[in-house]
Chain A
Amino acid sequence: MDDLYRELILDHYKSPRNHGELDPADGKAHGHNPLCGDDVEVTVNFAEDVIDAIRFKGRGCAISQAATSILTELVKGRTVSEIADLDKQVLLDELGVPLTPIRLKCAILGLGVLKVALHKAKGTPLPAEWSGADDLMLR
């Protein structure tokens, strides 16, 4: 019934993987959802066109933080262009929980922030839902 808080989510929330900050970092972005206060910063390092290392930090609800943690495991070792094109459904399938529209935003915050970091560092296209985002979202 409360599938949303299944073991995987709680485990990643309580023990986030790849947590912290890379310094120096090849790419960096920060995202904030003012509606609920979810906050995520992602730093990445590349080995040519491959995501070699990734870290995140932030605060917010269990979904936003666990989804970002799961995302970091999903993308490490994959190419920049592959992740820039990554459909959010791939991450959602990984989460494996039903989400209402308002919680969907929590779940894909980290993915959006990562795509912005790739855009800034490698010039990949900005995801549609983030194009036109104001400073508040992309600060």
Chain B
Amino acid sequence: MSEVTVLSSLDARRLRADFPILGRHVHGKPLAYLDSAASAQKPTAVLDIERSFYETSYTNVHRGVYELAAEATEAFEGAREKVRALLNAQSTREVVFTRGATEALNLVAYAWGLDNLGPGDIVVVTELEHHSNFVPWQYVAQRTGARFTVIPVDEAAELRLDALDEIASQGRVKAVAVGIVANSIGTVNPVEDIARWAHQQGAICVLDAAQAAPHRSLDVQALGCDFLALTGHKMLGPTGIGALWGRAELLEQMAPFNLGGEMIRSVTLERTTWNELPHKFEAGTPPIAQAVGFGAAIDYLASVGYEAIGCHERDLTAYALEGIGAIDGVTILGPPLERRGGIVSFVVDGIHPHDVAQILDYEGVAVRAGHHCTQPLMERFGITATTRASFYLYTLEEEIDRLVEGLGRVKKTFA
């Protein structure tokens, strides 16, 4: 799987052999896993490297002088280089390992926000945001006296950029935090335009790439943002590992986030000085084997190719929009195919999403039901929850067929 080939499409059936869990049955039916937006399943390449790392090279990183410590550090820092290359960042100094995208976003909100926001300043997020890119900003705005505001969405859950002028007229826009792909509804946002607008206001632009990085290639230079957060577990990698990319000049100016071991240069009774980037932001023992697994996941994605992944997911999404959209009493939320990631979120007339998902589970079809950590968006559409199907490189059309058939059974049960 190490050879990089450019494919216009991919052979999902062949790839599935790399994912042991996809062979299991649920309630006597083959598992149709349509919840990759919540978390992706793991290929053996990731599982094997974590195990072999523990079996051959494991110890704590950075300070040991013995051979194992050198090997572990090399593997850990090698994973950092893979993240750097993935994002086309200038230096590994700009890549901070975190527990996930949530911690990465909190790091920016706290370490940048607490020292750079105050009364008269505006923090802008969007109505589409996952709570992880919403709540930290709302909280830090309240702590600093800054104003917190959202870019609203239209009926298709697309950002209303016509509202930007009005937002800019309310004060100094200092931070703009936007997701690249909206997790609950699939909207792909025009983040390059938003980054440009943010910089025109003199603001920083923070991108939540948790839902984008698994599916599309990202180049922080082309995106024009200042910070970008991603998480390993949605990218076929382990849980507990993610990364924050930030421009070095901003990271250098920022105070630390967590404090303790590893992030210091020197500690005396009087004062402590901070380690260099990126270690200044990595207090404590990091998730070492998880970082190594994350690196293997990035390699796996590269071997399949983002172009092929995107193509496959577009085909699946078109197929699902057609199949689910044709069912009476089912309403799909969100934008048209051209501006949608591999996510189809819908409501069934008169049937709660939990009941929908429960009956689909009896058919072996795993979908998510709930507010998907986007309560403000749910409120915008006057609902409390949706049923969401999401697709990845291992998803098959026949799994979407089973979802559509299952929805028929849902309707029959409640008829």
Contacts and interface: CB of A to CB of B under 8 A. Distances in A.
Q: Are A and B subunits of one complex?
A: yes
Interface of A: 1-2, 4-5, 10, 13-14, 34-38, 60-63, 103, 106
Interface of B: 27-28, 351-355, 358-359, 362, 369-371, 375, 378, 383-385, 413-414
Contact of B384 (A2, A13, A36): A36
B371 A35 contact: yes
A65 to B, nearest CB: 9
A37 B384 contact: yes
Contacts of B413: 2, 5, 10
20 contacts: A1-B28, A1-B362, A2-B358, A5-B358, A5-B413, A35-B370, A35-B371, A36-B353, A36-B354, A36-B369, A37-B371, A37-B383, A37-B384, A37-B385, A60-B352, A61-B352, A61-B353, A62-B355, A63-B354, A103-B354
B358 A4 contact: yes
Given A10-B414, A36-B385, A37-B371, A61 B354 contact: yes
A2 B354 contact: no
Contacts of B369: 36
Contacts of A34: 375
Given A5-B413, A10-B414, A103-B358, A36 B352 contact: yes
Contacts, number: 48
A106 to B, nearest CB: 7
Contacts of A60: 352
Nearest to A102: B354
A14 B358 CA distance: 18
Contacts of B355: 5, 61-63
A68 B353 CA distance: 19
Contacts of B385: 36-37
A124 to B, nearest CB: 30
Contacts of A13: 414
A37 B354 CA distance: 10
A9 to B, nearest CB: 10
A117 B385 CA distance: 27
B346 to A, nearest CB: 16
Contacts of A2: 358-359, 362, 413
Contact of B27 (A1, A10, A61): A1
Nearest to A65: B352
A62 B352 contact: yes
Contacts of B354: 36, 61, 63, 103, 106
